[in-house]
Amino acid sequence: MTELPAIPVALSTSSVYPERTPDAFAEAARLGYDGIEIMVYGDPVSQSGDALARLVDYHQVPVLAIHTPSLLLTQLVWGREPWGKLLRAKELAERLGAKVVVLHPPFRWQREYARGFERGLAKIADETNVIFAVENMFPIRAGASEVSGYAPHWDPTGLDVPYVTLDLSHTAASGSDAIVMANTLGTRLAHVHLADGSGLPVGPVPDEHLVPGRGRQPCAELLRGIAATGYRGMVVAEVNTRRAATVDDRLADLAETLAFARDHLASVPAV
């Protein structure tokens, strides 16, 4: 495997869903992505260090990040105990040489986990070189009402956590200003999920994960900004290709996302 650039561009395995984890490796290798972020879900391969290591060797595409099974649909993956999930994600990251574990804030009903979240996360982080980066989420709006499914908050910028993942589809869904969030985070910004969103009502969960440039988020501005300020994390393409009619259509979307990221990261000389 070749040496990684200063800001690698990786492919989230969620970007090929409902295809499987091995398909993501094959498509990342074909398109020239710098690495993979593994979304841990029901696919047994996504949970297996041995299986993932074989895919790394075969495709010569490294695993750069692990996304814990934090979604509602993955609540039973790796058991019900949230701290156990984080420990397994840490062990998987260490096994594969990944530098980052992405996690969501606790759900509101995970009361004990939420109460000890910041303190417990700091304890786990002290025991490893793996970075735990908490991802910004979004509330659900119904008319004038707004309901958050997360605690202490869906926005980790105000939490006492050392590292944060900034997801640009989620800033659209929450109505947040991505540039302000990035500037507020400063060196705590450790990871970027590159996608786009319109910020318009698109059903009960307005989380679109569009190809960058197809929505209203400042994707280009954000990439140019981090390239100019010495960012040393990675950028991960996390786009929804489920509507792609054919494999070639999906590949075209993923290639467009990769080109977008590299073009804007390269438009400003790295510090």
pLDDT digits 0-9 by tens, 97-137: 999 999 999 999 999 999 999 999 999 999 999 999 999 99
Structure confidence at residue 145 (pLDDT): 62
Structure confidence at residue 71 (pLDDT): 78
The contacts of residue 149 (CB under 8 Å, 6+ apart) are 107, 108, 137, 139, 140
Whole-angstrom Cα distance, residue 131 to residue 215? 30
In the chain, where the domains are located: 9-265
φ and ψ at residue 266, rounded to 5 degrees: -85, -5
CB count, 10 Å around CB of 205?
Answer: 10
Spatial contact of 136 and 173, defined as CB atoms under 8 Å apart? no
Structure confidence at residue 10 (pLDDT): 98
* ω into 18 cis (within 30 of 0): yes
Alpha carbon 127 to chain centroid distance? 22
Pick the CATH number of 9-265 from 1.10.10.10, 3.20.20.150, 3.20.20.140, 3.40.50.12170: 3.20.20.150
Spatial contact of 174 and 136, defined as CB atoms under 8 Å apart? yes
CB count, 10 Å around CB of 46?
Answer: 24
pLDDT < 70 positions in the chain: 141-146, 201-205, 268-271
Structure confidence at residue 270 (pLDDT): 47
Structure confidence at residue 271 (pLDDT): 46
Spatial contact of 153 and 159, defined as CB atoms under 8 Å apart? yes
CB count, 10 Å around CB of 248?
Answer: 9
